[in-house]
Structure 1
Amino acid sequence: MTASAPHHGSCRCGLISAEAGSPPIWQSYCHCRDCRKQTGAPVMAFVGFHTDSLTWFGEPRNWRGAGGVTRMFCSHCGSQIGYTDDRLPGEIYLTLGFMDEPESYPPASHAFVERQLPFLHLTDDLPRFDGFSVERPTKTTEQDR
């Protein structure tokens, strides 16, 4: 069950917080190596919102990773906040750890299950994807050929 709007999130020290005024657009686990490295956990769980529904209080720091993904974190306490992806304009994905009521955003799928760690057993009946759980458009630029 998803909490009703507004949706609140904050970092551990409270210097960075956000409020979303619209319902989530996606909730998922991600088992990819990049998400594991970013969170320091065996799996990442996130909730997505439309970027224009989010109001920030404080300014997260950004780190530009591979593939057009920008990760956000608190420069004071180091809390992971979330990410944006150039291939998903107008969307932002916040870690469940950033959300003030993470239990209100149960994941609806698993992404990159072929990379799931062998000792991690999540016995649910959620859809499982070998790649992204949120479809990204394919690019056909000269650089991609």
Structure 2
Amino acid sequence: MNAPTLHAGGCRCGAVRFEASAEPHHISYCHCGDCRKASGAPVSAFVGFKTGEVALDGKTLKSFENGPVARSFCGTCGSPIAYVDSRLPDDVYFMLGAFDQPAYFKPTHHAHVREQLPFVHMPDGLPRHLKGSVPRPDGTEE
């Protein structure tokens, strides 16, 4: 029997859909330049799950690789969907804004604040990491 869907989302045109059968293990803002380029926004927010807890479907799904990170998006409407990092093979991080109920997910910290744009002010009291907030197996926090 399949686990029940707790969270679902997808792209703007509906060609790509995803669902998760568990609660996320990671919810964060990211201020890195790569996320800015991928999203077009001054800051991004991600929701992380274990890969075995999610299903992703869409014939229009495309991806772009930059080093160990591959970012997926809809090839029809261009909506960013998720990213995976080859150094974290059991994790997938979905764009918070791609969820059907994005208000459910409240970020718990900020990553890459050394790259935060000077005009972005988010006085939320959350922990701030100069680099990444997810340690990689090699000990780095990229």
* TM value normalised by structure 1: 0.89
Moved over 6 A (4+): none
Cross-structure match for 2:66: 65
2:123 is aligned with 1:123: yes
RMSD, aligned α-carbons: 1.4
Q: Which amino acid aligns with 1:128?
A: R
Specify every segment of 5 or more residues in structure 2 that has no aligned partner in the other structure, as ranges.
none
Cross-structure match for 1:142: none
Cross-structure match for 2:48: 48
Please give the alpha-carbon distance, in whole angstroms, between the structure 1 residues aligned to 2:117 and 2:62.
29
Deviations 1:79-116 (A, max 9, x none): 00010001111100000111111111111000010110
Cross-structure match for 1:77: 77
Cross-structure match for 1:19: 19
Specify every segment of 5 or more residues in structure 1 that has no aligned partner in the other structure, as ranges.
140-145
8 Å Cα contact 1:5/1:23 also seen in 2: no
Cross-structure match for 1:38: 38
Cα drift, residue 131 of structure 1: 0.5
Deviations 1:47-69 (A, max 9, x none): 00111111123142111112x00
Please give the alpha-carbon distance, in whole angstroms, between the structure 2 residues aligned to 1:50 and 1:121.
31
8 Å Cα contact 1:29/1:44 also seen in 2: yes
Please give the alpha-carbon distance, in whole angstroms, between the structure 2 residues aligned to 1:132 and 1:56.
25
Please give the alpha-carbon distance, in whole angstroms, between the structure 2 residues aligned to 1:87 and 1:56.
20
